[in-house]
Amino acid sequence: MATSSNGGAVMATLSHCSSNARLMDFTSRNRSSKVFLLTRVKPSFCVRCVSIEPKQRVTEEGVLSDLSSFPPDAASIASSIKYHAEFTPLFSCQNFEPSKVFFATAQSVRDALITNWNATYDFYEKMSVKQAYYLSMEFLQGRALLNAIGNLELTGEYADALEKLGYTLETVASQEPDAALGNGGLGRLASCFLDSLATLNYPAWGYGLRYKYGLFKQHLTKDGQEEVAENWLEIGNPWEIVRNDVSYPVKFYGKVVMSSDGKSRWIGGEDIMAVAYDVPIPGYKTKTTINLRLWSTKVPSDQFDLSAFNAGEHTKACEAQANAEKICYILYPGDESEEGKILRLKQQYTLCSASLQDIIARFERRSGGNARWEEFPDKVAVQMNDTHPTLCIPELMRILMDLKGMSWEEAWRITQRTVAYTNHTVLPEALEKWSYELMQRLLPRHVEIIEMIDKQLIEDIISEYGTSNPEMLEKKLVTMRILENFDLPASVAGLFVKPEEIPIDKTGEKVEATDAVTVADRDELEGEKKLKNEAANKEPVSIPPKMVRMANLCVVAGHTVNGVAEIHSEIVKKEVFNDFFQLWPEKFQNKTNGVTPRRWIHFCNPELSAVITKWIGSKDWILKTEKLAELQKFADNEDLQIEWRAAKRINKIKVASFLKEKTGYSVNPDAMFDIQVSFSPFNRLVSSILTLGIQINRPLAYILIIFTFILPRCHAMSTKVVNFQVKRIHEYKRQLLNILGIVYRYKKMKEMTAADREVKFVPRVCLFGGKAFSTYVQAKRIVKFITDVGATINHDPDIGDLLKVVFVPDYNVTVAELLIPASELSQHISTAGMEASGTSNMKFAMNGCILIGTLDGANVEIRQEVGEDNFFLFGAQAHEIAALRKERAAGKFVPDERFKEVKKFVRSGAFGPHNYDELMGSLEGNEGYGRADYFLVGKDFPSSLNAKRRSILLIEIKG
Whole-number Å distance between alpha carbons of 258 and 265: 6
Peptide bond preceding 54: is omega within 30 degrees of 0, i.e. cis? yes
Asked if residue 672 lies in contact with residue 764, where contact means CB atoms within 8 angstroms, the answer is: yes
Within 278-337, residue ranges assigned H as helices are 306-310, 314-317, 319-325
Contacts of 797 (CB under 8 A, 6+ apart): none
What three-state secondary structure class fits 54?
Answer: coil
Asked if residue 184 lies in contact with residue 679, where contact means CB atoms within 8 angstroms, the answer is: yes
Residues 843, 885, 888, 948: which is the catalytic one?
843
Whole-number Å distance between alpha carbons of 233 and 821: 29
Rounded to a whole number of angstroms, the CA Rg of the chain reads: 31
Residues 212, 346, 627, 733: which is the catalytic one?
733
Contacts of 345 (CB under 8 A, 6+ apart): 434, 438, 439, 442, 443
Whole-number Å distance between alpha carbons of 866 and 174: 35
Whole-number Å distance between alpha carbons of 347 and 342: 9
Within 31-97, residue ranges assigned H as helices are 74-87
Whole-number Å distance between alpha carbons of 397 and 71: 48
Count CA atoms within 13 Å of residue 734 on its CB side.
31
Whole-number Å distance between alpha carbons of 904 and 761: 23
Tell me the C-alpha to C-alpha distance, in Å, between residue 582 and each of 53, 419, 570, 575, 882: 59, 21, 13, 11, 22
Is 16 labeled as catalytic in the residue annotation? Answer: no
Q: What's 368-409 look like in SS3?
A: CCCCCHHHHHHHEEEEEECCCCCCHHHHHHHHHHHHCCCCHH
Contacts of 566 (CB under 8 A, 6+ apart): 590, 592, 860, 861
Residues 143, 728, 745, 885: which is the catalytic one?
728
Task: State which H helix or E strand residue 134 sits in.
Answer: strand 131-135
Is 171 labeled as catalytic in the residue annotation? Answer: no
Residues 424, 476, 481, 599: which is the catalytic one?
424
Helix axis angle for 74-87 and 98-127, nearest 10°, is 100
Count CA atoms within 13 Å of residue 643 on its CB side.
18
Four-point Cα dihedral 23, 27, 30, 33, nearest 10 = -70
Is 843 labeled as catalytic in the residue annotation? Answer: yes
Asked if residue 111 lies in contact with residue 149, where contact means CB atoms within 8 angstroms, the answer is: no
Q: In 10 A of CB 75, how many CB atoms?
A: 15
Is 126 labeled as catalytic in the residue annotation? Answer: no
Q: What's 712-778 look like in SS3?
A: HHHCCCCCCEEEEEECCCCHHHCHHHHHHHHHHHHHHHHCCCHHHHHHHCCCEEEEEECCCCCCCHH
Count CA atoms within 13 Å of residue 777 on its CB side.
6
Residues 727, 784, 828, 948: which is the catalytic one?
727
Maximum CA extent, the chain: 120
Helix, strand, coil abundance in the chain, percent, nearest 5: 50, 15, 35
- Closest alpha carbon to 728 in 685, 677, 687: 677
Residues 839, 863, 885, 888: which is the catalytic one?
839
List, in sequence order, every residue forming a beta bridge with 381; answer none if it has no partner: 132
Whole-number Å distance between alpha carbons of 158 and 178: 20
Whole-number Å distance between alpha carbons of 730 and 367: 48
> Which residues carry out catalysis?
424, 727-728, 733, 839, 843
